[in-house]
Structures are given as structure tokens and as C-alpha cells.
Amino acid sequence: MAPPYQPTDLPLPRENELETRQVLKKLALAHRHLAELKGVVRSIPNETILISTLTLQEAKDSSEVENIVTTHDELFKNNLTASPYNPATKEVKNYARALSRGFDTVRKTGMLRFQDILDIQQTLEENRAGLRKLPGTELKNISTGEVVYTATKNLT
């Protein structure tokens, strides 16, 4: 069966549409700002401060997709005190730790192995459950009970 379109059917932008004077000016400006950022980052005595802040932001925003909502204040307060925190903050913190673990692994080895992924999962979930062995996981709409996704593949 032929694909619904042929690659030759796709309209390609004309070269002059891509490299306009305005785009090239913006490109030069972006390049300058990236160079400045690179210089500033080198002056930070501990780059972990910047990376951990970005990781925490990513974890917070990604967790909101799963309806795990916390605030920046709760996350940063938790970094400063050992006081108990709410479950959403704990989940986001685990996500950030797992993300950092993956980042560090890739930085050291240049890749992620299957065992590295399981280690990251362990950090995220705080257990050694590993991959799910039984199919049948369902995601449901909480309001209606409608199944919106069913896992059908066994990943092991």
C-alpha cells in the first residue's frame, strides 16, 4: 500500500523564504546571547546550581501533565529544610533526582544502558519494581471512568 503522500509532493520552502534579512539579524542576535550565556556559565563556581534549578523546573512542569501539581515555593523550601512535604512535592523531587541521575550517567558514559534506565526508574519510584510483566495497564478519565489508554505490549 502506498503512503498517503509521496515525499516529492511535499511543498518545500523557497531558499529566500528561510534566509531573510530579518531572520539573519535574529540569528546573529541569538548567537551573541548564547555566547554571553556560555561566558556567564563558565563564571559560575558551581554549575550544579544552574543545572539543578533547570532540572527542578522541568520536573515540576512535566509532572503537571500527570496532575501532580506543586509550587516553586514548596520545592525550594523543601531544599532548605528537612520538614515533611506534600506528596506532589515529593513526587516532583523524585522526578528531578531521576532526571539528574540520567543526565549524570549520559555525561559520564555518553549513553544510557538498559540497567541505567532501571536505576533511574528506581530513583523515580523509590522501589525496585522494574518493568511491568503483565499487560493490561489502563489510564482512565477520573470523571467518567472511560478508558483512554490500555497497554497491550509486554515490554520484557
Residue with more model confidence, 146 or 8: 146
In the predicted structure, residue 75 carries a pLDDT above the cut 50 = yes
Residue with more model confidence, 137 or 32: 32
The pLDDT tens digits of the residues spanning 110-148 come to: 998 989 988 999 998 888 877 666 666 777 778 888 887
The pLDDT of residue 107 is 87
How many other CB atoms are found less than 10 A from the CB of residue 112? Answer: 13
* Residues with Cβ within 8 Å of residue 136, at least 6 apart in sequence: 150, 151
| Residue written as grid cell 523564504 | 17
Strands 138-140 and 147-150: antiparallel
Please, what is the Cα angle at 35 between 33 and 40, to 5 degrees? 95
In the predicted structure, residue 31 carries a pLDDT above the cut 90 = yes
Which pTM was predicted? 0.51
The pLDDT of residue 105 is 93
Residue among 60, 61, 38 at smallest CA distance from 50: 38
